[in-house]
Amino acid sequence: MSSNKNSYPASVRDNVAYFKKQGIPVPPPHLLKTERQIEEIRKSCQVNIAVLDQVEKIVRAGISTAEIDRCVYQVTTDHWALPAPLGYEDYPKSVCTSINDVICHGIPSEKEILKDGDIINVDCSTILNGYFSDSSRMYCIGDVSEENRKLVDVTKRCVELGLEEVRPWKQIGDIGAAINAYARENGYSVVAEIGGHGVGLEFHEDPYICHTASRNTGMLMVPGMIFTIEPMVNMGRAGFRIDRKNGWTVTTLDHKPSAQWEIMVLVTETGHEVLCW
């Protein structure tokens, strides 16, 4: 596949034109990555995966989230890459660590010590040679309650169901519809205002992936698009607040726990390829 920012590849041009005539929003050409760009993005993803694999080896009760941050920085730079969050819009650390009722963007701290029974999301993003990758995982610390473990497992299944909807010539709203339906079946709520996004050449690109969307809505999925699927599923209400002091940390309004898994996916000619997890 080859393209430039002003024209569609020949392999997709006719189909894009057909759906555009039907009134379906289509991605602009610059959102479709070239084969060379995809290969470079894959290399960035491999670093991101390696970082989260290393986090899995150290995460346990008794360590601080600052120790996780140092691990992420060290492993990332050992691979000649950079942590994308560090300095992004003045974010002060290399990774986001979100525990229990923190929905996302938890800032690592020496004072924040993991305890037995905690659930934590570690959200890692990498820049390698100018190409971006982004994924996150949940970790259960020690003896986690059945209630919290179910939340983690259901959220992971939400991602899998959303992924099943990713194939060319469907609309992005199908992803959120599948996710939201399964979360609600299990008595949970999904955050609508914070979602997935395009990624690869920039940290955050179009399109926005709403995880509560309706079927047959949103942008057309076209081969060459890369975006994240990252539902934030709350045990209680979907409402949230943003910390006024640091401007980043998002927590549930009712203080009930939240979980999130994030993957990065490429739309292919025949379906999809998971690039980062």
Asked whether the beta carbons of 72 and 91 are under 8 A apart, the reply is no
How far apart CA 13 and CA 8 sit, in angstroms, is 5
> Domain ranges in the chain?
30-276
Tokens standing for residue 233: 């599923």
| CA geometry: angle 86, 136, 201, nearest 5 deg | 60
Q: How would you class 123 by CB atoms within 10 Å of its CB: exposed for 0-12, middle for 13-18, buried for 19 or more? A: buried
* Percent of all residues in the chain with a pLDDT value above 90, rounded to a whole number: 98
Residue 6's pLDDT is: 80
| Secondary structure (3-state) at 206 | strand
Q: What is the pLDDT of residues 61-85, one digit of tens each?
A: 999 999 999 999 999 999 999 999 9
Amino acid at 144: V
Of 180, 186, 130, nearest to 154 by C-alpha is: 186
Give burial (CB, 10 Å; 0-12/13-18/19+) of 222. buried
For 42-75, give the DSSP string.
HHHHHHHHHHHHHHHHH--TT-BHHHHHHHHHHH
Q: Which residues contact 113 (CB under 8 A, 6 or more apart)?
A: 62, 63, 64
Structure-block tokens of residue 180: 């939201």
Q: Can you tell me the mean pLDDT for 201-229?
A: 98
In this prediction, residue 4 carries a pLDDT of 53
Averaged pLDDT for residues 189-203: 98
The predicted-structure confidence for 3-55, as pLDDT tens digits, reads as follows 457 899 999 999 999 999 999 999 999 999 999 999 999 999 999 999 999 99
Residue 3 is predicted with a pLDDT of 47
Contact 114, 120 (CB under 8 A): yes
pLDDT digit string (tens) for 115-173? Answer: 999 999 999 999 999 999 999 999 999 999 999 999 999 999 999 999 999 999 999 99
CATH topology of domain 30-276: Creatine Amidinohydrolase (3.90.230)
Q: Look at residue 228 in the predicted model and tell me its pLDDT.
A: 98
For residue 185, what pLDDT is reported? 98
Which amino acid type is present at position 52? L
